[in-house]
Amino acid sequence: MDYQSRERSPFSSAPAQSGALFDQGLRAHMLRIYNYMGLGLLVTGVVAMLVASVPALYVPIFGSPLKWLVMLAPLGFVMFLSFRIEAISGATAQTLFWAFCAVMGLSLASVFLVFTGTSIARAFFGAAAMFGAMSLYGYTTQRDLSQFGSFLMMGLIGVIIASIVNIFLGSSALQFAISIIGILVFVGLTAWDTQSIKLQYAEHHDDETRQKLAVMGALSLYLNFVNIFQLLLSLTGQQED
């Protein structure tokens, strides 16, 4: 059901009432998504700071091959949720989302070991400002952003490939370019994903479907935010002495 095509004429009270109910449901749906995302970021931050502050936790992880498992585990969660979301319950999807956020905290603990607290705070608030502005744009704009989807996905693939190549090259110039382009890509994806999430909502969905849509929407926005944060930190962060 297209919310944009609903009649809002004052001479037709039934469609207007239906439109108001739809808008109310949409706002509640988006609020749930942002709440999931915000709580997910909180879980990630708490786990990351806890691990980084306890040598007995971070030394066994980052001082051994176990670090590769910690780094790749979040990708496994994302792939499982993406491909199995239809087969699992909403409660299971939500549980997996919280587990994913906690595992991301393990992976991001290294950030607190490498960069200063000031740099981390600056990158976080910078990412929050960019994310908030672009998500608001994606939610409010009447412009169809779907035309940019394929372009943004190609940019994302390019950033991933370049990042893998730079693991072996270790080029600071290439890393600088990756950070700049990556920020632009994920900022664009934030607006695109927000609009897509908004358009996926339908008032005839049952509670189970809405919950799973909320989890997947929160996951996509969470990933955009975390990537903007990491790229900003890579670009502007000051390392510990």
Range 57-65 contact pairs with CB under 8 angstroms and sequence separation of 24 or more: 57/109, 58/109, 58/110, 58/113, 61/106, 61/109, 62/109, 62/110, 62/113
Token pair listed for 3: 């919310």
Contact predicate 174/162, CB 8 Å: yes
For 68, phi then psi, to 5°, come to: -70, -35
Per-residue pLDDT tens, the chain, 241 aa: give them. 343 343 333 333 344 446 788 888 889 999 999 999 999 999 999 999 999 998 888 888 887 777 788 888 888 889 989 888 888 998 999 999 999 999 999 999 989 888 998 999 999 999 999 999 999 999 999 998 988 888 898 988 999 898 888 888 888 888 889 999 999 999 999 999 999 999 988 767 788 888 999 999 999 999 999 999 999 998 887 787 6
Report the pLDDT value the prediction gives residue 241, as an integer from 0 to 100: 63
Output phi, psi for 205, to 5 deg: -65, 145
Domain boundaries, the chain: 12-236
Given this model, what pLDDT does residue 233 score?
Answer: 93
In the chain, which residue ranges form alpha helices assigned H by DSSP? 13-53, 55-62, 66-84, 90-114, 117-140, 149-169, 172-200, 207-236
Confidence (pTM): 0.87
Contacts within 8 Å (CB) and 24+ apart, 144-151: 145/191, 145/192, 145/195, 145/196, 146/192, 146/195, 146/196, 148/188, 148/192, 149/192
Ramachandran region of residue 170, left (φ > 0), alpha (ψ -120 to 50) or beta?
Answer: left
In this prediction, residue 36 carries a pLDDT of 96
Q: DSSP assignment of 36-50, as one string?
A: HHHHHHHHHHHHHHH
